[in-house]
Structure 1
Amino acid sequence: MSKKTKYRIYAVIFVVIVAGLIYWFYIPANSTPGEYDSFAQCLTDSGAKMYGAYWCPHCEEQKKLFGDSWKYVNYVECSLPNAAGQNAVCNNAGIQSYPTWEFSDGSRVTGVMQINEISQTTGCSILAAETIDSDN
């Protein structure tokens, strides 16, 4: 086998390995929708948002309730790097503790809220992105 042929074989193997690594690290392992995707998107569409901090254990607990659907929730990070205080957005909003949910009517709830509580407050259905008829 000539050096040129060996070089081509090694080049093809290298490209296949690199492509495999890119696929492995950059393609999500689970691309199925999250359990609450529609609900979380409805929350954002309704104007609800959660203020929190990356170091806050209750915020982490709240995020875990949403699982993979958390990415659709309007989340405002309040902490400065190294937990060195609160950013201007949260200061101006008067946020004093985490997590704090703010709803479109201006009402707020501090602390972890269960999914059904958020649903009742916003009118967003847990099962679909449609709004619950509050007259029933």
Structure 2
Amino acid sequence: MKKDKVITILTILVILAIAFLALNKPKVNTPEGIIQCIGKESKLYVQDGCPHCRNQENLFGENLDDLNLISCSDDWTKCQNIKATPSWEINNEVIIGIQSIEKLQELTGC
């Protein structure tokens, strides 16, 4: 009888632990989580007065601050390998032009 009680209690504890871990897992699948992941895995190069850069930035809305944004207008030395803006640097590869969030998610593995 005592053995059954111990097994039941251990089973309940395991279930609670699994539920706790599942609920506290980082939410990468949320739009905010995906954008934060993209920001960690890439760099976005832009410059002032670039309408395509503004369009790219607008795709991220309020989450723009989560990106690793580099303004070539402020410091051109950081943009010496950039031929046009907007450009993304992902895994040491430069991708020129506006990219969808879905494409960036694919390229970054987010």
TM-score (norm 1): 0.55
Please name the residue that 1:74 is paired with. 68
User: 3-state DSSP class of the match of 1:79?
Assistant: coil
Could you tell me whether the CA contact under 8 Å between 1:36 and 1:69 is conserved in 2?
no
Alignment of 1:101 with 2:103, yes or no, is no
User: 3-state DSSP class of the match of 2:84?
Assistant: coil
Q: Which of 54, 57, 69 is the aligned partner of 2:51?
A: 57
Could you tell me whether the CA contact under 8 Å between 1:41 and 1:72 is conserved in 2?
yes
Deviations 1:9-63 (A, max 9, x none): xxxxxxxxxxxxxxxxxxxxxxxxxx732122111222x0111102110010001
What amino acid does structure 2 have at the position aligned with 1:122? T
Could you tell me whether the CA contact under 8 Å between 1:49 and 1:75 is conserved in 2?
yes
Could you tell me whether the CA contact under 8 Å between 1:50 and 1:101 is conserved in 2?
yes
Shift of 1:88: 1.3
Alignment of 1:117 with 2:103, yes or no, is yes
Please name the residue that 2:36 is paired with. 41
Q: Distance in 2 between matches of 1:63 and 1:73?
A: 9
Q: Distance in 2 between matches of 1:107 and 1:63?
A: 20
Provide the aligned length of Structure 1 versus Structure 2: 81
Q: Which runs of 5+ in 2 are unaligned?
A: 1-29
Shift of 1:78: 0.0
* Bigger proportion of residues as strand: 2
TM-score (norm 2): 0.67
* Bigger proportion of residues as helix: 2
Could you tell me whether the CA contact under 8 Å between 1:36 and 1:66 is conserved in 2?
no
RMSD over equivalenced CA pairs, Å: 1.5
Q: Distance in 1 between matches of 2:98 and 2:71?
A: 16
